[in-house]
Amino acid sequence: MIVLDTHVLVWWVDGDTQKLSRKARQALAGHGKRNELLVSSISVFEITTLERRGRLRFKISASEWVAQVRLLPEYRIEPLTDDIVERAGQFGDAFPGDPADRIIAATALLRGAALVTHDEKLRGTKNLQAIW
């Protein structure tokens, strides 16, 4: 099982794979074949917010895009749970302040999964296994 950061999810699903590292592509392909791609539900919030603000565009609405991802067997959308948000709140001040980043990282830590991310700050987080 691996957790996908929001940008990784968008790039992978939309076939924009040149933005991904070779190692990330390999991890996504391998785990995808085993239906082991975990997406934090906060990524749904990020995607719809980015579309609303005009910073992300799909050929269809973000809601339709997310609905299509939900139908793909290789993805599981992990709900926000009290243990995840509690862990996200425990990161120190040195951790990136974006709540979505905190929740995605906490999801990976608590679900015992590596996080696929391009974000250097997240990749530098102690005890967080990251793939890039």
Distance CA 81, CA 119 (A): 24
pLDDT tens for each residue of 3-34 = 999 999 999 999 999 999 999 999 999 999 99
Q: Tell me the domains of the chain and their CATH numbers.
A: 2-131 (3.40.50.1010)
Amino acid occupying residue 97: G
Q: Across the beta sheet with 75-78, what order do the strands follow?
A: 75-78, 37-40, 2-4, 114-116, 130-131
What is the tens place of the pLDDT at every residue in 69-123? 999 999 999 999 999 999 999 998 888 789 999 999 999 999 999 999 999 999 9
- Tokens 């296994």 belong to residue: 129
